[in-house]
Copies of this chain bind each other. A is one copy, B any other.
Amino acid sequence: MLKRKSRWLLSAVIALFTLVLFSQACFAQDTMTGSILDVQKYERAIEIMAMLLVGFGFLMVFLRRYGRSALTATFLLVAAAIPFFMLLDSLGLFGGPTKVEIDQLILAEFGAASLLICAGACLGRLKMYQYLVLAVLFIPFYMLNVWLVLGNGFGILPAGGVVDTGGSIVIHAFGALFGAGVVMAITNKKESAIPIESDYTSDKFSMLGSMVLWVFWPSFCAALVSPEKVPFTAINVIIALCGSTLATYLTTVGLRRKISISDIANASLAGGVAIGATCASANHPTAFLIGILAGVLSTFGFALIQPRIEKVFRMIDTCGVTNLHGWPGLLGGLAAIFVIQGLNVGAQLAGIGITILLALIPGYLVGLVLLALGKVKNHYEDSEEIIDVNQG
């Protein structure tokens, strides 16, 4: 038998030993769980990268004689935007630095996505180096807007006041409206007469880009969502995309009698744009409805709204980004008011308003800068800057 003193000491030692082991194991486990979650975010980051290069890049290959330039421009815009964003954020500008490294990468990719949207508006009319100028001028305004709208920048809007999980407002609408601003400045009279042509092969490449965007869109919207909400959010995005894809087909046939591949390739994605704001909070039927509305709106944009806007504002939007990212983005931002109970409506509207102003005005000014740097001689032509056919 144990001595009396030893008895309670023994059990106390076992208990303490277990407690110490347990807390160590907990700490190790938390660290490991943190690493695992970061690697899961990394997977989504890589899928977003596929959207940026293969998705946006090939969607813009619909221009039959500017495809190789569009792909080169995509490469350059991404390669400039991502390190530049990370540099500015690391310097502590616009609310930075972001503490978790993989989050910083994802935020930089969001910025690159918005930039690619903007560039889509002026595609085929900038010299190659001007895309780099655009990247350098765009990114700070983009970061400023995100900081003001979502990051409590200057204390204007309350933190968490504006709901925009997947970037309907600050990524899509901002990029499209910034691009609208740019093309309002750079479009000249003659350009309306220059055809924007696709062909059978360029249409298929465009559909490839569209499908890559469609497939990985859930990872875009759920990139920074907490792990337990990822499946729900992703399914909402998929359902919204299904809605817009079906609605686009019905609307394009309804408006044009036959199917426009450009409508299918673009407006099918409008559900992803519009569900962005509420992707983590809407229920599935609402997500489907938002998708349908976005698909209809976007197809109307391509078929009816764009021709009128181009005349009124004398602006040519090469890829029709206002139709795909502009109106559906604003729709998504406004939808949050109806979808999310207890939403700070004033903040949401103010966030949308700030985004519109901070996109259009600096966009127009950046357009003037680009115009001052000159324009291409031959519109939508690879031969402007690319060696004709590289025979050995």
Contacts and interface: CB of A to CB of B under 8 A. Distances in A.
B258 A385 contact: yes
A314 interface: no
B264 A75 contact: yes
A364 interface: no
Interface in A221-275: 227-228, 230-232, 234-235, 238-239, 241-243, 245-246, 249, 253, 256, 258-262, 264, 268
A188 interface: no
Interface in A14-69: 14-19, 21-22, 25-26, 29, 31-33, 35-43, 45-47, 49-50, 53-54, 57-58, 61, 67-68
Interface stretch (A140-148, A201-209, A367-375): A201-209
A35 B128 contact: no
Contacts of A7: 8, 12
A207 B258 contact: no
Interface of A: 7-8, 10-12, 14-19, 21-22, 25-26, 29, 31-33, 35-43, 45-47, 49-50, 53-54, 57-58, 61, 67-68, 71-72, 75-76, 78-80, 82-83, 86, 101-102, 105, 128, 132, 194-201, 203-205, 207-208, 211-212, 214-216, 218-219, 227-228, 230-232, 234-235, 238-239, 241-243, 245-246, 249, 253, 256, 258-262, 264, 268, 284, 288, 382, 385-387, 389-392
Closest 7 CB pairs of A and B: A196-B392, A11-B12, A79-B245, A15-B15, A14-B15, A79-B242, A102-B231
30 contacts: A14-B16, A14-B19, A29-B33, A33-B36, A36-B40, A41-B231, A42-B230, A42-B231, A42-B234, A45-B234, A46-B216, A54-B211, A54-B212, A67-B204, A68-B200, A68-B204, A68-B207, A71-B264, A72-B261, A75-B214, A76-B246, A79-B241, A83-B243, A101-B232, A105-B235, A132-B246, A196-B391, A198-B390, A201-B201, A260-B386
